[in-house]
Amino acid sequence: AQERYADIRHLPATSLCGRTTALTMNAGLMADLPSLEGSGAEGVGLFRTELQFLANRSVPRRGDLARLYGRVMDAANGRPVVFRTLDIGSDKVLPYMKRPEEPNPALGWRAIRVGLDKKGIMRMQLQALIRAAAKRPLHVMFPFVAQFDEFREARAYVFQEIERERALGRDLPESVKVGAMLETPSLAFAPDRFFEETDFVSIGGNDLKQFFFAADRENERVRRRYDTLNVSYIALIEMIIGRCRDAGTSVSFCGEDAGRPIEAMCLAALGLDGLSMRPASIGPVKHLLRRVDLGEVRDVMEAARADGAQTVRPAVNDYLGRALS
């Protein structure tokens, strides 16, 4: 499939209106990295770090993680890689970590909540990331932040660990950016200060959507009930983008919807700086983005909303039928 889009692989996702959307890929294994070249991704917008923990019989060793993260950065060959800290709990359970039975794991002790309660593991992972990034840029992102304090506390550990490395006389990252995943509706309503203090925001649409509509992302019966292009959800995304823009903070989207061309186009039209998706989606998404005017898409979405539509999808499909014919 990537062959089909080979002619645009090295071109930017610039739409007819002149706006360019950065397209990056999601990854989680060393084996994913060769896709960077083939897909034309500008970097890794989401590196999920769970697999190395899930595949092990005990907590992985810091040295092993540091080597792996270093190899991932080597393979990215200067392109940015955004490492998401351990996102366990809910559907991803570590066999070697004692945890209470939870009636609602998706709403339970997961991701940054575990990290802040089990600081040893989080600090160890941050140390591994900092070592791997010696003399090069480091991008760290914390998952499932529900309130500002959680982000502040987690970010403080990054800088404490950097100071520790400095005291040990080790090489430090050339630059450090610390961001938050926005995947709970509460964070969209955080104080302005949060949006100013975070270096970037990445919208985790898989979780954000399930919590916004109260519809389990794993439950086939309700999963598809609410359209991503539902006007209420679009209003939420638009608000998040506006808050990031007011704070001068870049904002991207890394849930599965970023890899669906029509959804990706509408998300881009709302003003996202970037979209991160599975590598095979980069070609099709770029192909569509390069053929439309995002200002027009935005107008079509606005008109449908003003009309009282529940979803902008039919209007957008009509528009595409006209625009691409």
Give the one residue of 42, 165, 207, 273 binding ligand PEP; rule: CB under 6 A: 207
CA distance 206 to 89: 15
2 CB-near residues (< 8 Å, 6+ apart): 9, 38, 39, 279, 280, 283
> Which residue from 40, 45, 173, 255 is in contact with ligand PEP, where contact means CB under 6 A?
255
Q: Which is nearer to ligand PEP, 203 or 316 (CB)?
A: 203
d(CA 163, CA 161): 5
Shortest distance in whole angstroms from residue 200 CB to ligand PEP: 14
Among the listed ranges 112-120, 127-135, 203-211, 293-301, the one in contact with ligand PEP (CB under 6 A) is 203-211
Told to check if 32 binds ligand PEP by CB under 6 A, we report no
Q: What is the dihedral of CA 104, 241, 200, 248, to 10 degrees?
A: -150
x/- map, 151-190, ligand PEP, by CB under 6 A: --------------------------------x-------
Distances (CA, A) of 156 to 12, 64, 151, 182, 189: 35, 24, 8, 19, 22
Q: CB under 8 Å to 5, separation ≥6 — which residues?
A: 40, 282, 283, 284, 286, 287
Q: Does 254 bind ligand PEP (CB under 6 A)?
A: yes
Which stretches of 29-183 are DSSP H helices? 35-39, 50-54, 62-76, 112-117, 119-132, 148-167
- Backbone dihedral angles phi then psi of residue 240, each to the nearest 5 degrees: -60, -45
- Which residue's CB is nearer to ligand PEP, number 15 or number 90? 90
Q: Which of residues 44-73 bind ligand PEP (CB under 6 A)?
A: 46, 48
The CB-of-164 to ligand PEP minimum distance in angstroms stands at 29
Q: 161 or 257: whose CB is closer to ligand PEP?
A: 257
Site stretch for ligand PEP (CB under 6 A), options 2-10, 66-74, 158-166, 202-210: 202-210
Whichever of 204 and 283 has its CB closer to ligand PEP, that residue is 204
**Closer CB to ligand PEP, 94 or 320, in the complex:** 94
Any idea what the Cα angle at residue 200 is, between residues 2 and 60, rounded to 5°?
Answer: 75
DSSP assignment letter at 107: G
Residues 149, 212: Cα–Cα separation, whole Å: 21
Question: Binding to ligand PEP by residue 87, rule CB under 6 A?
Answer: yes
Footprint on this chain of ligand PEP (rule: CB under 6 A): 46, 48, 87, 183, 204-207, 254-255
